[in-house]
Amino acid sequence: MANNMRYFIGNWKMFGVPKSINILNKINTFVKLDKNHNKRYKVIITPPYTLLESYSNIFKNKRISIGAQNCYHKDNFGSNTGAISPYMVKNLGAKYIIIGHSDNRAEGDNDIILKDKVIFALKNKLKIIFCIGENKRQKLNKLTFTTLRKQLTKVLERKFEENNIIVAYEPIWSIGTGKIPQQSELQKTTKFIKKILKNIFKTKKSPKVLYGGSVDSSSIKQFTELNDIDGFLIGGASKSSKNFIDIIKNYYR
């Protein structure tokens, strides 16, 4: 994959029923007709578990890849009511998986749990979108870098296949609030995250780092100059085909 390849990932969170496929059909048609697509970007959508199998089948050989939003921290089958293991996710056809979203960290996912999720997701050959990010208090107390360093080093290890791990930097204070970090700040933070990742994986290759938090068709224009950012994790604006397509269009304007 070329180095300037960008990811546009739509995280649907608790949204979507079977007929929401219309949204993806429209996005898929846009991508298919965009001659520059193959060279420039990749689209991934993470619908809820309930739609993983049907959407993975429908988009198997199409332009959109499908991923899961989470998984349980044990593999295979177990007596864990309501839980879905990475093995089950993989068997539904998903290619990607989000791990460590702040929604799930807030519900109890700690570093130990997250490490198990990463281990089992990798074992099942899922590509991981690993989310990190500071909250408002940590930001105000100038603890952003300390927080991010901990979130990365407590979970990721040198032995993990770094090619299958993408990191998404999502400051919690930015999610769903319309607030976006300043460009210079974001530039510094992205460089910092890449440095830590290179150190963990002992690699010279540039790791993939995405930004997430209030990305929409208008805020995306602020990111076009930030070359270190390898793509975007998009929440609210990914639930409308128009908004999602406009994000891609405006990024390449």
DSSP state of 217: T
Say if residues 112 and 147 touch (Cβ distance below 8 Å): no
Which residue bears the tokens 């979507």? 16
- Closest distance of CB 235 from ligand 13P, Å: 2
Q: Is position 179 an interface residue for ligand 13P (rule: CB under 6 A)?
A: no
Sign of dihedral through CA atoms 99, 102, 104, 107? Answer: positive
Part in contact with ligand 13P (CB under 6 A); list of ranges 48-56, 191-199, 211-219, 245-253: 211-219
Residues 59-98 as x/- pattern, contact with ligand 13P by CB under 6 A: ----------------------------------------
**Is 157 one of the catalytic residues?**
no
DSSP state of 42: E
**Is 37 one of the catalytic residues?**
no
Q: Is position 138 an interface residue for ligand 13P (rule: CB under 6 A)?
A: no
Given the residues 73, 134, 162, 170, select the one marked as catalytic: 170
Member of 113, 148, 152, 215 binding ligand 13P (CB under 6 A):
215
CA 72 to chain centre: 17
The residue sitting closest to ligand 13P, measured at its beta carbon, is 235
Closer Cβ to ligand 13P, 94 or 201, answer by number: 94
- Closest distance of CB 35 from ligand 13P, Å: 28
Q: Is position 214 an interface residue for ligand 13P (rule: CB under 6 A)?
A: yes
Rounded Cα gap, residues 131 and 156, in angstroms: 12
3-state secondary structure (DSSP) of residue 56: helix
Residues 3-42 that bind ligand 13P (CB under 6 A): 11
Q: Report the run of H or E that residue 117 belongs to, with start and end.
A: helix 111-123
Member of 213, 223, 230, 248 binding ligand 13P (CB under 6 A):
213
Q: Which residues pair with 7 in a beta bridge?
A: 42, 231
Q: Which amino acid is at 143?
A: L
Given the residues 73, 101, 134, 162, select the one marked as catalytic: 101
- Closest distance of CB 129 from ligand 13P, Å: 9
Member of 23, 114, 128, 175 binding ligand 13P (CB under 6 A):
175
| Token digits of residue 161 | 């296949």
CA 140 to chain centre: 25
What angle (nearest 5°) sits at the alpha carbon of residue 211, between those of residues 160 and 104?
Answer: 65
Residues near ligand 13P (CB under 6 A), total = 14
Residues 100-119 as x/- pattern, contact with ligand 13P by CB under 6 A: -x------------------
3-state secondary structure (DSSP) of residue 104: helix
Q: Report the run of H or E that residue 89 belongs to, with start and end.
A: helix 86-91
Residues 218-247 that bind ligand 13P (CB under 6 A): 233-237
| Token digits of residue 129 | 């979108």
Catalytic positions are 101, 170
Q: What is the binding site for ligand 13P (CB under 6 A)? A: 11, 101, 170, 175-176, 212-215, 233-237
